[in-house]
Amino acid sequence: MTTTEIRVRWGEVDAQGVVFNANYLMYADVAVTEFMRANGIMDHCRDEFAQTFVVDAHLTFMASARFDDQLTLAVRCERVGRSSYVLAVEMSRDGESLCTAAMTYVRAVDRVSAAVSDGFRARLGPPSG
Each residue's pLDDT tens digit, 6-39: 999 999 999 999 999 999 999 999 999 999 999 9
Residue 56 CA to residue 37 CA, distance in Å, equals 22
Backbone angles phi, psi at 75, to 5 degrees: -120, 135
pLDDT of residue 72: 98
Encode pLDDT of 98-123 as tens digits. 999 999 999 999 989 999 999 999 99
pLDDT mean over 78-96: 97
- Residue 129 in this model has a pLDDT that exceeds 80: no
pLDDT of residue 117: 94
Domains of the chain: 2-124 (3.10.129.10)
Cα dihedral angle (15, 17, 20, 25), rounded to 10 degrees?
A: 160
pLDDT score of 128: 73
How many CA atoms, within 13 angstroms, populate the side-chain half-sphere of residue 80? 16
Cβ(46)–Cβ(117) below 8 Å: no
pLDDT in tens, 31-73: 999 999 999 998 998 899 999 999 999 999 999 999 999 999 9
